Structure 1
Amino acid sequence: MRKGLKYMASAFSAGGLLLILYAMKGLFPFGEFTVSWCDMNQQVVPLLCEFKDILEGKGSLFLNLQNAGGMNFWGVFLFFLSSPFTFLVAFVEKWQMMRFANLLVLLKVMLCAGCASVFFDRSFPKLRPVFAVMLSVSYGLCGYTMLFYQNMVWLDMMYLFPLFLLTLQRLARIGSIVPYAFCLAAMIVVNFYLGYMLVLFLILAAGTWILFFSPREIRGQRTVQLAAGTLGAALLSAVAWLPSLLQYLNSARGGSLLQSLSGGNFIAPLSTIGMLLLCTAVILPSFLFQALRCARGEMTDPWETYTLLLFVFMLIPVIVEPINKIWHTGSYQAFPGRYGYILVLLGLCLAAWILQRPGRPLCCRSSALWASVLFLLLGAVIFAAFFLWNHYPKTLTAYTRTLWGNDQSLRIFLIFFLLSAGCCGLGLFLYRHRLLSRRLLAVCLCVLTAAESLFYGTCFFVAKSDQNFVNVIRLEDRIDDDSFYRVKNNKKNYDVNLTGAIGYNTLNHYTSLTGEDYMHGVRKLGYSSYWMEVSSVGGTLLSDALLNHKYTIYRQAPLEGNTVYSDGEYSIRQNDFVLGLGVVTGADLAKEEELELTARPYAGEHLLRTLAQSGQSIVREHAPTDLYNLSLTRNGAYYNLSREGGGDSMIEYQIPAADETRTYYFDCFDSLQNNLNEPYYKAFSIYVDGELVCKEYPTQSNNGIFELAVCANQPVRITVTVHKDVSVRSLGVFSVSHESLSQTLASMRSAQLETGRDTVSGTATAQADGEYLFLSLPYDKGYTATVNGQTVPIRRVFDAWMAIPLTEGENAITLRYRPQGFAAGAVMAAAGIVFTLAAGWFLSRKGRRIRPLEKPAHVLLFCLTVGVFTVIYLMPPVVYIVSRLISG
């Protein structure tokens, strides 16, 4: 019972401090603000809304049409949502989801502290309860929480890790494998991506212990038990990691490992990653104290030496950037130090070794002089917190605006850290030298923990309004249409995943699992995209019709005849041109695996004319009328613009009136790479009839084909101001004929299809054998197709889409979807349960050993540990240094 109270005290102390922070910043439930920002806005909260739909039977955990045109949601769930707390969304209204995020963070931080308390209680039995609570709260509100709480599922890894260490200790001491296997499997299921880092740590930690610290007579036995438990965990979690890994490998998140390791700086971005240590002041003085003891040979407990060694292992990547990159699978766009919770807990273990009751008695009365100095220093820490926040709030919150600290913020944080670390170091020194009582030390450390938690929390926890989110949520269920359709955005007025969050099928998607082929396909058709984000912004009337964009969301737009909903802030309009989900064509789609990377408006025309088997021209390219201080040349596939003279460089298009309605577009595009920025970004300002319609184009959020105007029987003047020289594949003004498009669409044969849970079914009539059914669903190997009861192959066509062969006459079509690798993973998981329980029972029985396996297992573990250490710690710096020497 007393232990339970200790664990609860840790959890509620951390929760109480966080609630105080919430009250200070006006956060829900004390105000209307939310802690949601960055990835929580862009990914976590919208995906929570979609998961609520799944729980209510409105969607599927496998095939999700509300993302990326239709994608595997299983990997997305395991990447962002795989937490028991996620199921609480069933009791929350969507419009409250951003505020509910405050409570999710609170609950997870409390659980982090509670689980850490269990760990310190079991691992350090001589540690006083007050110190255990203090260290647990420090873990729950450490730098990892401050930097990464917006990726909420990472906090699940954080609260599971202390329990995992306990199971690892239990395996090392008594050979118990079942708790270890199930805990490791749970962490991999919670987040398979961070599970990679956990496995690296496991290999280093387990290998180091068994090879160098465990008693020689049981090394072989423990190696076999470790192997059995790890194999069991791999099998148990296979239903998560196998399909997720396959989906990850097909994503656009790639690049050259050697190029990544060769680039950048040798020293990690300490202004950001360094906060993992700076936010918990007790760690650094504890490390220095323990390192000094180790150097003097004063450490008698091998677990103490072992903990220090593991801390050094995890400290190195925080300092050396090439090693840090390899811990992140070779590269990262932001959030360095995603393994940081491991470092923090190991650092707090070093502090726990110091704070444990030693064999000799400590003083009962403190030195008044030294106690006064200590508490004077503590007062300076508290004063510094108020002073620094009141004088440098913008500098201290740089991370919440850019995802990166800077030199100025680091300098200010170092002032507070040095005061805090000095206070901690002095307190520990006095305590160990019998100059300070345990009670005064406890008071000092508890006050210091509260002060740094609130100070850093003020700097790293945001307070944002959720009003725009609520306005978007109001758009849900505003379209009365039972057919299959997609909804697009005319501009990026909100985070792209929100369109799916309100229940509409869309091309929009932003997670690390966005498919590479899909991203390339939609970019070639003229839609906006960068990094791992794909947006429905852009495109043309042709691509919108092909991809079922029946409705468009506008913001603060005037009412028109095709408006189906408007609330003054957002409106939804029905589009004039749209095709169904499936189109029957006599074209030989076996020859159309990829679209040519050329002027993008022509890509959509080629796709449409191929499917329609029509020679009718729909897209027209308009030549410039005048060039001012500018030269425009064509060199092969590239358009080259070079500014000349001293005045403004401009391109002017004087387009006479057409005898039909045409929509005019401007495009500038070159590379399919998913870079955050391109050299040609912000190269143009665009005017239509003298009115500025786009100040900067293209940009990160608007790099699709830009719609200029819709004109019927009237001339149009388009002026493009050029701000930089560019060399690109697609450039210029194009227009689309409404009449020609309408005629082409009318000539096409649509299939009668409907979507269900993980299925697409219906009928399609072919005029001859060898015709195809084109489906505007992104290609995925998880689909199986049957035509008239016979399984048929599915072709990837036009980069991203699917085609199914038909036979003459009416064809009954069924597509079923299961994530690739899911079935095999489920079988492996079932086998894993049996294997883990059987191996646990057999290997735990006294005297039971598999001696023939012990030596090979020991050799294998040695090779694995040395190999991982070489690849993680030796290879990256060598690659970096050699590349620098070669480049001069």
Structure 2
Amino acid sequence: MQTKYKQALSYYGLSFGLPLVLVLIGFAMMGLVPFGNHNLLFSDLGTQYMPFLAEFKRQMAHFNFSAYSFSLSLGGNLVPLAAYYLISPFNLLLLLGSNSQLPVMISYVIALKICTMGVTMNYFLRTRTTSYHYSALIFSTAYSLCGFVAMNFYNLMWLDALILVPLIVIGLERLFSVKKPTLYIVTLTVSILTNYYLGYMTCLFAVLYMISLVIKQRQPQQTWLQLMKQQARVIWQFIWSSLIVGGLSAIILVPALLGMLKTGKKTIAMTSFYPTPQFGWEVLTQFQVGGSHYTQRLTHEPTLFVGTLVLLFAVLYFTLPQIRKQAKYANGFLVLSLALSFWVTTFNTVWHMFQQPEGFPYRNAYLFSFVLIKLAYEASLVRGQNKRAKVRTIILIGGLLVMGQLKLHSSQYPQIAQQSWLLLSGYTIFLGLLFYYWGQARQRYQKLVMISVALVSFSELVTNFQLMTQKMPLGYQKQYAQQYQRQASVYKHLSQADHDFYRVNNQSILLKSAYREPYYGYNDALLFGQYTLNNYSSTLDEQMRSMLVDLGFYSKNVRRINGVGHAAITDLLFANRYDLQQKKGQTIIQRHQTLGLGFAVNADLADVTLKKHRPFDNQDRLLQAMVNTDKPFYKIHQVDTVREEVKAQRYCYTLEVPSDTKGPTYLYLPHQDLTQIKLWVNGRKKKTPIKVNSAAIIPLEDSHRGQPLRLTVISPKRQKISHFQVATLNQKRFDQAIRQLSHQKLMTTALWRDNGHVEGRIDSQSAGQLLYLSLPYDAGWHAKINHHTVKPKKVMANMLALPLKKGTNDVQLRYYAPGLLIGQIISLVTLCIWGLVANWQKIVIKR
């Protein structure tokens, strides 16, 4: 018994340790801390996941998890974001380090997840034999470092799904063979809860796998109808168990679904459902070392690499006479179904939740890798493998790989990682020979063959990892830690000096020196526990984003909104009190006129609708409605053309803006990619803080009477000067509006950013006024005025307002994520039903 325990300990210890060694070798080759100064600050990990994980750390440190965050742009529901990115138990390890060391801790978490994949895969392979076969370590390690992992390991929220797939399949097989669904229900539920996106894909795979188990049971001469009747009980139990999984997952799925319906990704393009092919024969190169690399992360063929040895055994599986034909049909169904899920656009769209993914395509490729490794290991266990079958397999695989290479190199853009012909040929030849001698060599040479196979296979995995990561623009950890402390000290200074509610428009992004890619600090508010308008997330509220665009703010796409484009009026509306700008290596703080979280306004604000591409008109009408005036706050200028020239196929315009109003002047160019336009104001070149590839308000200079502004615009295409919108804010009139609104400002007595709870008091001077709040409208907000429930109103297309009574108003706001309570009830009821049914089944069995 003790010997068996030691054997199990070494077996699973090696299944964890071998991937760890290989990952550390890969990290060392990349120069990651502690092997160098690099970290994983690139792509979405650097711009999204790390700030999200910092918010997770902050909330966990306070023993609280909020459904709302005031740091998601103007504020937003945190549940959809958490459901996708944050609910992995591995994330708790991040609490062990400081935020300045968060990139290093994330790399450790990634390594730990990869190693855990090796353990669960080895546990699955152990179910294929009655004893411990150490050859399984080759196959489980291939799963840990397959092509999907090498290409996507920095999307760390996906790795939990790969850990759980082997356990889910074991659960399915137990459900099918001994009618015990518990493991299947628990593991699939955990998969959905940790990441509902890949959890959804795993659910589809579970259906396919269950069908394959049914197919495997078909006997000769048995009709499909007879087979279905024979397996009716287990099919029904699978359906019932899957419904239980759905019910248990409702606590996350319901609020996440309602939250995602508010994003810009809810629209469905019919072209995504056309049954067209996604790729050609070049996909075969994805089975070889270095099939893709980082620069192809947004568009590439499915990452199918599992190692040459695994590929050879997987193909051999279908030629071995020792394996039943029905088993081959069942597994062939799995392979073909998954292959079609990549190749046919219709199926690929369904697998990706009815949306074509924005980058990182074929996210279900991990399931194909799992199936290939499963088949390969089962084939490797067969005794008396036919030599001729092995030779034919080697020739077939070699021929297909050559075809893929020829097709790839005849294309317009051959992949750089595939240029190492000598390396590719070397691995294929070595592993082909070792594959041939697997089980054929004499007994005394078997260990030598196995050790050789392991060494060559592991070196192939490491080489693939190195090739697929070689072009990653890794960040610099030392610089990150230093700049993080500098940026944190700036925010700390503001917090100590100002206790009112405010937002910060940070264009002095100190952390960008630690990145090799452009870094715009979209989610720095989450990283530093601050409030800002910026946000970059797949869960960004589309109505809020559209509203901000209509007011002149810059948005690159439906996932991003930036503070570039702000003006004095929008600073007031959104409590943007501070601008942080970088000048000569120093952070300069510019203060704006704001009134905190909210203030009383005229009820006419509810009647104002926003117009597309008319930001000055929109801002003007909003402020007019707030203070109940018909006097405009903006002076819209007629732009005069002084000169128009064409130089080197570029159009140069010299324009003059009259100055008859004192105040800041702004320019807005609708339907323009501002990165293609060069602008000078009074002879000084005007630059935007970041690259702006769409329309946004550009501040010019403060206007003074009698001093017109001269603009020079250079554009690659002819411009209609009549489309240029130039406006000057009447500073005197704006100051009067500020003073009027300040008399009825909300005095915030409590704002708990960790639970979406606001309390305050405001004195309303007249009946029928509204309390305008610098928070987006959301069905999750519940309000009380003087302890009486009131219904929040939507104003300005997507902002929150409350009806006020004349006199003193005590305000209470609480946020409850829409669908969270319903999801909790569904999950609780499902849990009770599951428990009752399970107990009833036990009673029936005992009888």
Which residue in the other structure is 2:817 paired with? 819
Deviates most, 804-813 or 237-246: 804-813
Q: What per-residue deviation string (whole Å, max 9, x for no partner) do you get for residues 491-525 of structure 1?
A: 77633112321111112211111011011011111
Matched, 1:237 2:249: yes
Which residue in the other structure is 2:525 paired with? 499
Which residue in the other structure is 2:500 paired with? 483
Cα pair distance change 1:647/1:25, threshold 3 Å:
closer
Could you tell me whether the CA contact under 8 Å between 1:181 and 1:836 is conserved in 2? no
Cα pair distance change 1:81/1:614, threshold 3 Å:
same
Deviates most, 328-337 or 610-619: 610-619
Could you tell me whether the CA contact under 8 Å between 1:598 and 1:730 is conserved in 2? no
**1:421-440 → structure 2 map (5 Å cutoff):** 421-431=428-438, 438-440=446-448
Which residue in the other structure is 1:308 paired with? 332
Compute the displacement of 1:846 (Å). Answer: 6.7
SS of residue matched to 1:710? strand
Which residue in the other structure is 1:866 paired with? none
Matched, 1:518 2:544: yes
Which residue in the other structure is 2:762 paired with? 764
Q: What per-residue deviation string (whole Å, max 9, x for no partner) do you get for residues 364-399 of structure 1?
A: xxxxxx9xx99xx9xxx9xxxxxx9xxxxxx99xxx
> Quick one: distance in 2 between partners of 1:127 and 1:413?
37
Compute the displacement of 1:311 (Å). Answer: 2.1
Q: 2:415 aligns with which of 368, 392, 408?
A: 408
Deviates most, 755-764 or 235-244: 755-764
Compute the displacement of 1:780 (Å). Answer: 1.2
Q: State the one-letter code of the partner of 2:447.
A: R
> Quick one: distance in 1 between partners of 2:464 and 2:413?
16
Matched, 1:111 2:116: yes
Identity, in percent, stands at 22
Could you tell me whether the CA contact under 8 Å between 2:578 and 2:592 is conserved in 1? no
> Quick one: distance in 1 between partners of 2:520 and 2:192?
32
Q: What per-residue deviation string (whole Å, max 9, x for no partner) do you get for residues 328-371 of structure 1?
A: 1221110011112111111101110121142x4999xxxxxx9x
Q: 1:751 aligns with which of 724, 746, 749?
A: 746
> Quick one: distance in 1 between partners of 2:458 and 2:190?
31
Cα pair distance change 1:286/1:318, threshold 3 Å:
farther
> Quick one: distance in 2 between partners of 1:189 and 1:835?
20
SS of residue matched to 1:588? helix
Matched, 1:619 2:634: yes
**1:389-788 → structure 2 map (5 Å cutoff):** 407-409=414-416, 411-412=418-419, 416-417=423-424, 419-431=426-438, 438-461=446-469, 462=472, 463-466=474-477, 467-468=479-480, 470-476=482-488, 477-479=492-494, 480=496, 481-490=498-507, 494-531=520-557, 532-555=559-582, 557=583, 568-569=585-586, 571=587, 573-592=589-608, 594-626=609-641, 628-629=643-644, 648-656=650-658, 660=662, 662-670=663-671, 680=673, 682-694=675-687, 699-700=692-693, 703-712=695-704, 714-725=707-718, 731-748=724-741, 749-753=744-748, 754-756=750-752, 757-788=755-786
Q: What per-residue deviation string (whole Å, max 9, x for no partner) do you get for residues 36-86 of structure 1?
A: 320100111111111122123398521100112111112211111111111
Could you tell me whether the CA contact under 8 Å between 1:243 and 1:821 is conserved in 2? yes
Deviates most, 175-184 or 313-322: 313-322
Cα pair distance change 1:659/1:621, threshold 3 Å:
closer
Q: What per-residue deviation string (whole Å, max 9, x for no partner) do you get for residues 537-592 of structure 1?
A: 2221111121000112222x25xxxxxxxxx45x2514131122112122334423
Which residue in the other structure is 2:513 paired with? none
Compute the displacement of 1:208 (Å). Answer: 4.2
Which residue in the other structure is 2:18 paired with? 13
Compute the displacement of 1:22 (Å). Answer: 1.9
Q: State the one-letter code of the partner of 2:239.
A: A
> Quick one: distance in 2 between partners of 1:439 and 1:653?
82
SS of residue matched to 1:507? coil
Figure out how many residues of one structure are paired with residues of the other and give that number. 776
SS of residue matched to 1:735? strand
> Quick one: distance in 2 between partners of 1:264 and 1:515?
32
Matched, 1:26 2:31: yes
Q: State the one-letter code of the partner of 2:414.
A: D
> Quick one: distance in 2 between partners of 1:331 and 1:664?
42
**1:269-284 → structure 2 map (5 Å cutoff):** 270=283, 273-274=300-301, 276-278=303-305, 280-284=307-311
Q: What per-residue deviation string (whole Å, max 9, x for no partner) do you get for residues 313-337 of structure 1?
A: 1122333344323321221110011
SS of residue matched to 2:603? coil
Cα pair distance change 1:776/1:305, threshold 3 Å:
same
Deviates most, 541-550 or 594-603: 594-603
Which residue in the other structure is 2:258 paired with? 246
Cα pair distance change 1:141/1:60, threshold 3 Å:
same
Compute the displacement of 1:451 (Å). Answer: 1.8
Which residue in the other structure is 2:239 paired with? 227
Compute the displacement of 1:472 (Å). Answer: 4.2
Compute the displacement of 1:109 (Å). Answer: 0.9
> Quick one: distance in 2 between partners of 1:282 and 1:841?
47
> Quick one: distance in 1 between partners of 2:136 and 2:548?
54
Could you tell me whether the CA contact under 8 Å between 1:682 and 1:723 is conserved in 2? no
Which residue in the other structure is 1:863 paired with? none
Could you tell me whether the CA contact under 8 Å between 1:528 and 1:536 is conserved in 2? yes
Could you tell me whether the CA contact under 8 Å between 1:177 and 1:228 is conserved in 2? no
Q: State the one-letter code of the partner of 2:378.
A: W
> Quick one: distance in 2 between partners of 1:726 and 1:172?
69
SS of residue matched to 1:28? coil
Cα pair distance change 1:588/1:214, threshold 3 Å:
farther
Compute the displacement of 1:613 (Å). Answer: 1.6
Matched, 1:120 2:144: no
Q: What per-residue deviation string (whole Å, max 9, x for no partner) do you get for residues 797-851 of structure 1?
A: 21221122222222222111111111111112222222223323434667599xx
Say what the alpha-carbon RMSD is for the aligned residues.
Answer: 3.4
Deviates most, 647-656 or 190-199: 647-656
**1:10-409 → structure 2 map (5 Å cutoff):** 10-57=15-62, 60-125=65-130, 128-129=133-134, 131-210=135-214, 213=217, 216=227, 219-262=231-274, 266-267=278-279, 270=283, 273-274=300-301, 276-278=303-305, 280-293=307-320, 299-300=323-324, 302-303=326-327, 305-329=329-353, 330-358=355-383, 360=384, 407-409=414-416
> Quick one: distance in 1 between partners of 2:115 and 2:574?
46
Compute the displacement of 1:93 (Å). Answer: 0.7
Could you tell me whether the CA contact under 8 Å between 1:472 and 1:498 is conserved in 2? no
Q: Which has the higher contact order (CA 8 A, sep 6+)?
A: 1
SS of residue matched to 2:476? coil
Compute the displacement of 1:735 (Å). Answer: 2.6
SS of residue matched to 2:303? helix
Stretches of structure 1 that go unaligned for 5 or more consecutive residues are 364-369, 382-387, 389-394, 397-404, 559-567, 631-643, 671-678, 850-888
Cα pair distance change 1:314/1:451, threshold 3 Å:
same
TM-score normalised over the length of structure 1: 0.81
SS of residue matched to 2:37? coil
Which residue in the other structure is 2:798 paired with? 800
Which residue in the other structure is 2:286 paired with? none
Could you tell me whether the CA contact under 8 Å between 2:215 and 2:329 is conserved in 1? no
> Quick one: distance in 1 between partners of 2:315 and 2:75?
53
Cα pair distance change 1:423/1:27, threshold 3 Å:
same
> Quick one: distance in 2 between partners of 1:343 and 1:84?
26
Q: State the one-letter code of the partner of 1:615.
A: D
> Quick one: distance in 2 between partners of 1:79 and 1:688?
45
Could you tell me whether the CA contact under 8 Å between 2:85 and 2:157 is conserved in 1? yes
> Quick one: distance in 1 between partners of 2:414 and 2:815?
50
